[in-house]
């Protein structure tokens, strides 16, 4: 109905997503609810069991995001996460079809198992299904074989991302003093040498500037945005996973434009929280600090501040000054927090990066790392509020 009055990018893709996502998630969830209701004698237990199944599906997706290079996620109830927010084109791809087929096969197998066991002691499946029960065993075996085969081949089908599968697909491996480079096998030795030198130079540059090192880093260099999208998600977006000491980029001309920025995220992990290596401030009640508040503006601002872009660019301060003069700069207090995501990327990166670069140049790297570690507690680190620190920065711009 919304499409009647609103211009749509792609009606066919929208309808396909609608069918594959809520169109399948709703019956899958209903099936889980019915099975839990039939298998538990008390409604409260059935509800709890159904909710646990849903929570577990999110848990599996989060674990894969944390423990593997994956940026995408497939799940029976939430459907599909394509990767970072900056990926501009998201379409129905074969991996989503395979993932949905796998989820349907496992759900059907569970249903067949329930039909087979509905008379078992302690199981309250009081449905008159004798004919179905006789057919359940061969159906169960066939469904388990199909579901198992889809799960076994999931990495090759692009449903899940594993380091071994990505390394095999790219084919090239080079060890340098500080990096493990995984790159397309067809690159010449001279091209790999240039890439290795570029990585080592940026590493040395950041180590000198920050006075700290993150240890060994693994860098994945993909052939194209399409290959990166298929193997880990994110398409043309360059990203890092600081807690894994890994960066994910696309091969291009040396110097790689975003290498310093992504590597800076890994360096920042030395001052980040133990779980994700990012800037987090904890809050709570009565001295109990249990609520994490990621400071995403500080995460990206730090990386922009300490990493130099290749030449013939405006400096980060020139970009921030331009935004201020055009009246396009949101308040700094809004940028240095979770609300950073609500700001246009080009503006947010430039302004947060310029302010962090100002702090780096005025007070040094040790304090900027301490600020990152505190999650943005300016008063504790600098002895001044954010507003007081921002005034000299604005005058400078």
Q: In what helix (H) or strand (E) does residue 216 lie, and over which residues does it extend?
A: none
Q: Which residues pair with 281 in a beta bridge?
A: 293
Torsion sign across C-alpha atoms 44, 60, 74, 341: positive
pTM: 0.88
Helices (H), the chain: 2-5, 11-20, 22-39, 43-67, 94-116, 130-152, 154-157, 163-170, 189-210, 225-231, 259-268, 296-306, 316-325, 332-335, 345-363, 365-374, 378-382, 386-396
Q: What is the pLDDT of residue 119?
A: 58
pLDDT along the chain (397 residues), means of 10: 76 89 93 87 90 94 94 92 79 91 90 70 51 63 87 88 93 96 96 96 95 96 93 89 96 90 96 93 75 90 86 83 92 82 85 95 96 94 93 94
Six-digit token string for 127: 């449905």
Dump pLDDT digits (tens) for 111-123.
888 777 665 555 5
Q: What is the pLDDT of residue 395?
A: 94
């Amino acid at each position: 109905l919304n499409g009647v009055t609103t211009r749509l990018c792609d009606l066919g893709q929208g309808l396909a997503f609608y069918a594959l996502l809520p169109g399948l998630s709703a019956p899958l969830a209903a099936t889980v609810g019915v099975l839990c209701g039939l298998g538990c004698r008390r409604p409260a237990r059935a509800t709890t069991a159904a909710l646990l199944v849903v929570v577990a599906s999110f848990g599996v997706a989060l674990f894969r995001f944390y423990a593997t290079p994956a940026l995408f996620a497939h799940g029976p109830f939430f459907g599909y996460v394509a990767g970072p927010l900056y990926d501009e084109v998201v379409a129905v791809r074969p991996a989503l079809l395979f993932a949905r087929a796998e989820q349907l096969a496992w759900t059907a197998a569970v249903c067949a198992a329930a039909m087979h066991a509905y008379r078992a002691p302690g199981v309250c499946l009081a449905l008159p299904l004798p004919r179905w029960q006789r057919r359940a065993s061969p159906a169960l075996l066939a469904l388990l074989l199909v579901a198992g085969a889809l799960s076994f081949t999931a990495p090759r089908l692009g449903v899940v991302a594993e380091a071994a599968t990505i390394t095999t697909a790219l084919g090239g491996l080079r060890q340098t003093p500080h990096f493990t480079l995984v790159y397309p096998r067809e690159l010449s030795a001279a091209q790999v040498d240039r890439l290795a030198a570029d990585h080592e130079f940026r590493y040395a540059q950041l180590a000198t500037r920050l006075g700290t090192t993150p240890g060994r880093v693994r860098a994945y260099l993909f052939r194209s945005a399409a290959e990166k999208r298929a193997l880990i998600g994110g398409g043309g977006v360059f990203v890092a996973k600081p807690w894994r000491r890994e960066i994910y980029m696309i091969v291009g001309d040396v110097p790689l434009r975003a290498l310093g920025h992504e590597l800076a995220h890994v360096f920042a992990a030395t001052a980040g929280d133990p779980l994700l290596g990012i800037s987090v401030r904890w809050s709570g009640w009565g001295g109990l600090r249990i609520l994490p508040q990621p400071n995403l503006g500080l995460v990206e601002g730090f990386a922009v501040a300490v990493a130099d872009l290749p030449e013939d660019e405006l400096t980060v301060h020139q970009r921030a000054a331009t935004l201020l003069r055009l009246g396009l700069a949101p308040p700094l207090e809004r940028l240095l927090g979770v609300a950073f995501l609500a700001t246009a990327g080009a503006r947010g990166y430039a302004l947060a990066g310029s302010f962090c670069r100002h702090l780096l140049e005025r007070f040094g790297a040790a304090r900027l790392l301490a600020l990152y570690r505190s999650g943005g507690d300016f008063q504790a680190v600098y002895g001044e509020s954010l507003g007081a620190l921002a005034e000299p920065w604005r005058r400078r711009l």
